[in-house]
Chain A
């Protein structure tokens, strides 16, 4: 079983749609959960950071963590063509274990 699983897509939605991106994980030691956006041949750009379970909202983005189900989500409201990118989930156990374990990324296209 892979440590972090993410549906690679591709996912194509019309402008204004609500987008739901998801990851599951198997390592119960993960405490810190991040979502990154990556444009082609560029570095990952941090979008959202959450610690432990719960929701966090930032503008049109909401990150959700359910540690009991080992499941995290990113919701994008009122999606825009500029949101078209690959979205990566990443996780860390924190403490002395700072390495991030990434999902494979979901490629999102928002059509105007």
Chain B
């Protein structure tokens, strides 16, 4: 069964450092997303990406965040200057033409120290 692949599974970074989280969405999907889940809290939407541009973003997705699809397969989330409160699981997801088959990756656990 097709899956969304995320790397690394766990990243530890110092406060103020830049991090890049990587994702390979399902190959025939058109829409790509990032979500985060702070430990013990809800899964929260960050951003959606379609046709090489951001289509929606939440209040969480401020100027410290950016997304990119650098080639035909990868989708990345960059956090420019990490804060302690950025510590969370970050999930990449992709979907086809509708929201059917909205599939999540296993996540990257980001720990900011």
B95 at interface by CB-CB < 8 Å: yes
Q: A43-B91, A44-B91, A103-B42 known; A97 and B56 CB under 8 Å?
A: yes
Whether a CB of chain B sits under 8 angstroms from the CB of A18 is no
Residues in chain B near residue A94, CB distance under 8 A: 98-99
Compute how far the CA of A88 lies from the CA of B44 in the bound complex, rounded to whole angstroms.
Answer: 12
Residue count of chain B within 8 Å CB distance of chain A: 28
| A99 in complex: contacting residue of B45, B100, B103, CB < 8 Å | B45
What number of A-B contacts does a CB cutoff of 8 Å give? 63
Chain B residues with a Cβ under 8 A of chain A: 4, 6, 31, 33, 35, 41-45, 48, 55-56, 58, 89, 91, 95, 98-107, 109
Partner of A98, one of B4, B6, B95, B104: B95
Chain B residue nearest in CB terms to A102: B43
Tell me the bound Cα distance from A94 to B100 in angstroms: 10
Tell me whether B42 and A44 are in contact (CB under 8 A).
Answer: no
Residue among B35, B99, B105 having the largest count of chain A Cβ atoms under 10 Å: B99
CB B96 to nearest CB in A, in angstroms, measures: 11
**Is A46 engaged at the interface, CB distance under 8 Å to the other chain?**
yes
- B101 neighbours in A (Cβ, 8 Å): 46, 49
| Known contacts A32-B99, A97-B56: A102-B42 contact under CB 8 Å | yes
